[in-house]
Amino acid sequence: MAEHAMYFTDERAQRMYKIRTIVLKTLVYLFLTVFALFMLAPFVVMVIGSFVEAKAFDKFEKTANFAYLGFANWTGENYANVFTYGQNSFPTFFLNTLIVAVGSTTVTVVTAVLAAFAFARLNFKGKDALFALLLATMMIPGEMMVITNYMTVNQINWTNTFAALILVHGVSVFYIFYLRQTFQQIPNELYLAAKVDGVGDLGYLVKVMIPIAMPTITTIIILSMMGAWNSFVWPNLVADGTWRLDKSDSHSMMLVSNGLRNMFAAMGTRADALKIAGSMVISIPLFIVFILFRKYIMRGVSRSGIKG
């Protein structure tokens, strides 16, 4: 009788445990679903709003907003490009931003990898003092750096050039520090073994350290790309005009941030649909970057709890 009662109690406890587990999982998934919808809502509104009729035009078709942006005449009609601002146009801003984002990200990754490798593996006099000095520069307010960089660019006549837009973001102390921490977690025995096998420092960096640290480098790529793509203050200071290619032609140096701001300010509230369409178009490259590198991001997350 006692055994039967104990069996009944255990069965009831197991049933209650399963019920609590199901309820808990349901609540967790419900919370995640609501949170995901909350995060996706602005993007859904952006996509839908980009196909809404713009009040600035007499006639409208579903893809007219994108045709008016100047990329392509998808509707088959000869629309005037109302998104032309003097010698500037949305495709020009988009191309400029793409060049600056890719260029500055490439320079940032190269400098971060080389500097982090030097501070993590090479031995030279004053290494710790120099690294501490670099970290100290992170305490300087960004506004002071902007003023100094602006004065330097003016003195060397780099205003309205790609060099000013790309090289000013070419070195990031934070990314160097971030990548150095990852490099230091790689066993030093691998470096010594590579030395015994006759592999040089550059070969060891390329063949061993970079593949192991690829999740961290991928994070740097994404963050650097986003920072360059969304930059506003610096382009507004040094790239608000044109760069003359020759005596008869010139190229606008505005990016999507300051270029679209000027366009939207000129058009007022009549082109809200165009603004949303433009926002969607300039968000696509960042989404593509995330899709291309998502496996490295997930690999980095999966390794984050593994020691040794």
Q: Do 263 and 171 share a structural domain?
A: yes
Contact call for residues 108 and 167 (beta carbons, < 8 A):
no
Contact call for residues 236 and 258 (beta carbons, < 8 A):
yes
pLDDT the model gives residue 104: 92
Supply the range of the domain harboring residue 243.
87-303
pLDDT the model gives residue 266: 62
Residues 126, 166, 226, 117: is their CA dihedral positive or negative? negative
pTM of the model: 0.73
Q: What is the phi/psi pair of residue 232, to 5°?
A: -130, -45
Q: Do 175 and 30 share a structural domain?
A: no
Question: Has residue 126 been placed in a domain?
Answer: yes
Q: Do 215 and 287 share a structural domain?
A: yes
Name the pLDDT band for 1 (thresholds 50, 70, 90).
low
Question: Has residue 63 been placed in a domain?
Answer: no
pLDDT the model gives residue 292: 80
Query: How high is the mean pLDDT of the chain?
Result: 77
- What is d(CA 50, CA 54) in angstroms, rounded to the nearest whole number? 9
C-alpha of 40 from chain center: 18
Q: Do 31 and 126 share a structural domain?
A: no
Any idea what the CATH number is for the domain that residue 184 is in? 1.10.3720.10
Residue 134 has pLDDT above 80, yes or no: yes
Question: Has residue 75 been placed in a domain?
Answer: no
Give mean pLDDT, residues 130-152: 85
pLDDT the model gives residue 40: 83
How many of the other CB atoms lie within 10 Å of CB of 144? Answer: 9
Residues 280, 285, 288, 289: is their CA dihedral positive or negative? negative
pLDDT the model gives residue 106: 93
Nearest to 252 by CA among 142, 176, 162, 171: 162
Q: Do 220 and 144 share a structural domain?
A: yes
Q: Do 100 and 5 share a structural domain?
A: no
Q: Do 162 and 260 share a structural domain?
A: yes
Give mean pLDDT, residues 57-67: 57
Question: Has residue 81 been placed in a domain?
Answer: no
Which helix or strand (DSSP H or E) is residue 215 part of? Answer: helix 214-229
Q: Do 5 and 106 share a structural domain?
A: no
pLDDT the model gives residue 109: 94
Q: Do 187 and 116 share a structural domain?
A: yes
Question: Has residue 55 been placed in a domain?
Answer: no
Q: Do 22 and 158 share a structural domain?
A: no
Q: Do 259 and 137 share a structural domain?
A: yes
Q: Do 243 and 144 share a structural domain?
A: yes
- pLDDT, tens digit (0-9, with 9 covering 90-100), for 163-174: 888 988 788 899
- pLDDT, tens digit (0-9, with 9 covering 90-100), for 212-262: 888 889 888 888 888 888 888 888 888 877 765 555 556 778 888 877 777
Count of domains forming the chain: 2
pLDDT the model gives residue 203: 86
Question: Has residue 76 been placed in a domain?
Answer: no
Name the pLDDT band for 83 (thresholds 50, 70, 90).
very low
The mean-pLDDT minimum among 212-221, 225-234, 267-276, 277-286 falls in 267-276
Question: Has residue 297 been placed in a domain?
Answer: yes
